[in-house]
Amino acid sequence: MGGKIKLEISDHNFSGKISPQHELSILIGVGSLSYCIIDEQRQLLLLRDLDYSSSQALSDLFLQDEYLRQQYRSIRAGIASSIFTLIPNRLYNIAEKRAYLQQIVPIEDSVDIRTDEIPPLSVVNVYAEQRDILDIIRKYLPGSKIFHITTSILNGLLSQNTAAKGTTLFLHVHTGKLIVTLFQEKSLQFINLFNYQSAKDFLYYVMLVFDQFSLTPEEVTTYISGQLIKESEIYPLLHRYIRNLHFLPSPDFIKFGQKWKEQPGHFFFDLFSLTLCN
């Protein structure tokens, strides 16, 4: 297979056969891919987490994975590019979408500029992605809807009650990327994506947000999602400075079987939140 399976969880009621009512959500990062299949009752049927080594290996994975070759009622593809910005609806001009990003970083010709609307926040998410990745998605997942990872996370957080309780900071981890989101009640104050190399980098970016917004670590509730565990190098370093630190619980918009309960509930929040994107 084009990719190496790191984790697979299959519900005991899943026969392996895909129904026309099933939905596929797939999240593609640099060298990583995860996908899940849910049924019409939003029951998790299958989750796979894989590694791949190149664009060719990614193409091979789509050709060889038996579940990625099936027909679904809907397909949502998430991409984890590092370049994005949110523009208020009242200020957004489609003709300027590349210019919005060029104000942040130089934009290469090899990328396409895409947009997602996030109606609950009245903003447009403008982001860049390598054209070869988008071409692979369009080729092997025709008709799929494509979203940025931050669109997925924002939809997921807005659906959770945890995003409506005072000032709340969310730290999401995805393959060397840290996405920091700050809410006051359900009002978005800040979101950014940082590429980190070490635990000290991770802590630096988190504390930068605390300083920028004059937050008190003892008073702000902070949640972690993504593939980070207590036994990591990052968690004890964070906990030294942030006492009110919790792992985000399993999302309530997916129904999980017993097998999932053996996994940390905060894993794959980005992937599961894709199921909410439209």
What is the residue-wise DSSP string for 163-228?
A: GGSSEEEEEEEETTEEEEEEEETTEEEEEEEEE-SSHHHHHHHHHHHHHHTT--TTTSEEEEEES-
For residues 88 and 135, membership in a common domain is answered with yes
For residues 154 and 215, membership in a common domain is answered with no
For residues 52 and 148, membership in a common domain is answered with yes
For residues 54 and 99, membership in a common domain is answered with yes
What residues of the chain score a pLDDT lower than 50? Answer: none
For residues 214 and 263, membership in a common domain is answered with no
H or E element, residue 87: strand 84-88
Cα–Cα separations (whole angstroms), residue 135 to 110, 138, 142, 206? 12, 5, 10, 34
For residues 186 and 216, membership in a common domain is answered with yes
For residues 179 and 265, membership in a common domain is answered with no
d(CA 121, CA 187): 8
For residues 109 and 194, membership in a common domain is answered with no
**Bridge partner residues of 86 (DSSP):** 125
Domain holding 41, by residue range, is 1-160+250-278
CATH number at residue 180: 3.30.420.260
Per-residue pLDDT, 161: 67
Per-residue pLDDT, 2: 67
3-state secondary structure of 103: coil
Could you give the number of structural domains in the chain? 2
For residues 143 and 173, membership in a common domain is answered with no
Per-residue pLDDT, 219: 84
For residues 174 and 39, membership in a common domain is answered with no
What torsion, rounded to 10 degrees, do the Cα atoms 106, 125, 128, 63 define? 170
CATH number at residue 104: 3.30.420.250
For residues 125 and 140, membership in a common domain is answered with yes
For residues 143 and 41, membership in a common domain is answered with yes
